[in-house]
Amino acid sequence: MVKKINVGILFGGKSAEHEVSLESARNVYQAIDRDKFNPVLIGIDKDGQWLLQEDSRFLLNSGQLREVRLNDGGSPIALIPRGGGTLSFLNGENRAEGGGKPVEVPVLDVVFPILHGPFGEDGTVQGLLKLAGIPFVGSGVLGSALGMDKDVMKRLLRDEDIPIGKFLALRSHEKIPSYREVAETLGSPVFIKPANMGSSVGIAKVHGPEEYQGAVEEAFRYDSKIVIEEFIRGRELECAVLGNEEVIASVPGEVIPRHEFYSYDAKYLDEHGATLVIPARLSEDTREQVKKLAVRTFTCLCCEGLSRVDFFLRETGGDSAPDILVNEINTMPGFTRISMYPKLWEAGGISYTELITRLIELAISRFQKEQDIVTSRF
């Protein structure tokens, strides 16, 4: 009998995207192939503490994003550096909620960090997992960090001649330009965003000076650096990418927001906030261009495993081909059953369960290849 692979599902985290991560974890846990994998649930609370969870009640109020929360009754644990997936109970607290029998923890063979935003998708957890000597799903430290920081991401894409929109980056200690100065460079309206955040948290579409200062202050609540982007009038496309050295792209999908833009509310709170069209209605030439740009973006930013690349399709008028502009990359996109990333692969014939399996296999394959890298001269 083939031994099952112990998969640590790591979720929650110190991020404004905490609740989205909880729902992603719930769906992955329900869909993972139990014939191949033994899931081990590890929730990270909003203070950053890791808690080993019981299978039955690891989420409270599940299915309601405004109300969902992590069950904080688990045992505090930590990964042992270079421990090959060994977990250690903190202060000997290895008892189940309510003082039940001692909790037994298998050595983890691989970790699926379903973490969105800072302290999870930005290279921090990826560095910890590397120190712990354990395979993990998704990009490594560099790719995760580059994908999280919208400023650095856009500068690298620009240097690679990958088309992007105009933008400015500002740090909290710098002088904030007036809206007039911003509009002279980027036009009006503009989008203001935290540089390191996802799920449209802290984002505002600003039409004039009366909205500007409040939007800047709101974005700085979530990061010490913000980006201001030109408004691009056009269609919003998304394309999923999968692989390590050999990378494939899905059919593109289109997001049609029913709010003014694809906000956090439109994505997660309003069930009618947006329509997802899969596949997007595109010419064959445009579809292939989007797929090629998605792979180029993934490769340029040193990504691995999975990503979702978001685009704007700007109509140019007349007989000219439309402009395809990369907006950003998400190195750990939302993983709920209604999220675009798994739905794009389902359209290509890869089921949700099979997608999870492929991602775990990619993580293990990359880790095995990395073991051949020399780390000492003597």
pLDDT score recorded for residue 329: 96
Task: Assign 220 to helix, strand or coil.
Answer: helix
Residue 372: inside a domain: no
pLDDT score recorded for residue 94: 55
Asked whether the predicted pLDDT for residue 288 surpasses 90, the reply is: yes
Mean pLDDT (whole number) for 219-247? 94
| Residues 76 and 210 grouped into a single domain | no
How many distinct structural domains can be found in the chain?
3
Burial of 147 (0-12, 13-18, 19+ CB in 10 A): buried
> In one letter, which amino acid is 174?
E
CATH code of residue 214: 3.30.1490.20
Residue 375: inside a domain: no
CA 95 to chain centre: 32
Q: How many CA atoms lie within 13 A of 273 on its CB side?
A: 13
pLDDT score recorded for residue 199: 54
| Residues 265 and 352 grouped into a single domain | yes
- Expressed as residue numbers, the domain containing 110 is 5-136
CATH code of residue 130: 3.40.50.20
| Residues 320 and 357 grouped into a single domain | yes
Global confidence as pTM: 0.89
| Residues 24 and 70 grouped into a single domain | yes
Higher pLDDT, 44 or 201: 44
| Residues 225 and 325 grouped into a single domain | no
CATH code of residue 337: 3.30.470.20
| Residues 155 and 263 grouped into a single domain | yes
| Residues 209 and 345 grouped into a single domain | no
| Residues 47 and 188 grouped into a single domain | no
| Residues 29 and 98 grouped into a single domain | yes
| Residues 241 and 130 grouped into a single domain | no
Asked whether the predicted pLDDT for residue 378 surpasses 90, the reply is: no
At 324-338, the pLDDT tens digits run 999 999 999 988 878
